[in-house]
Amino acid sequence: MKYKRILLKLSGESLMGEKQFGIDNNKINSYALQIKEIYKQGVEIAIVIGGGNIFRGVQAEEGGMDRTHGDYMGMLATMINSMALQSALEAAGVSTRLQSAIEMNKISEPFIRRKAVRHLEKGRVVIFGAGTGNPFFTTDSAASLRAIEINAEVILKGTRVDGIYTADPEKDPTATKFTTITFDQVYAKGLNVMDLTAFTLCKENDLPIIVFDMDTPGNLMKVLTTDNVGTLVHN
Q: How many other β-carbons are positioned within 10 Å of the β-carbon of residue 205?
A: 12
Is residue 218 a contact partner of residue 162, using CB atoms and an 8 Å limit? Answer: no
Q: How many CB atoms lie within 10 A of CB 69?
A: 13
Q: What confidence tens digit (pLDDT) does each residue in 101-158 have?
A: 999 999 999 999 999 999 999 999 999 999 999 999 999 999 999 999 999 999 999 9
pLDDT of 223 reads: 96
Instruction: Please say if the pLDDT value at position 58 is more than 80.
Output: no
Query: Furthest-apart CA pair in the chain: how many Å?
Result: 50
- Which superfamily does 5-234 belong to? Acetylglutamate kinase-like (3.40.1160.10)
When pLDDT is averaged across residues 27-47 and rounded to a whole number, the result is 97
Going by their DSSP bridges, the two strands 125-129 and 180-182 should be labelled as unpaired
What is the structure's pLDDT at 59? 76
Would you say residue 159 has pLDDT above 80? Answer: yes
pLDDT at 61 over 80: no
Provide the β-strand partners of residue 178: 164
Q: Give CA–CA dist 140/88, Å, rounded.
A: 22
- According to the model, what pLDDT value does residue 66 have? 92
Q: What are phi and psi of 149, to 5 degrees?
A: -65, -40
State the chain's mean pLDDT as an integer: 95
Note the pLDDT of residue 173.
86
Confidence of residue 219 (pLDDT cuts 50, 70, 90): very high
> 49 - beta bridge partners?
10
pLDDT at position 79 is: 98
Whole-angstrom distance, CA of residue 212 vs CA of residue 164:
8
What is the pTM for the complete model shown? 0.95
Measured distance CA(177)–CA(11) in Å, rounded: 21
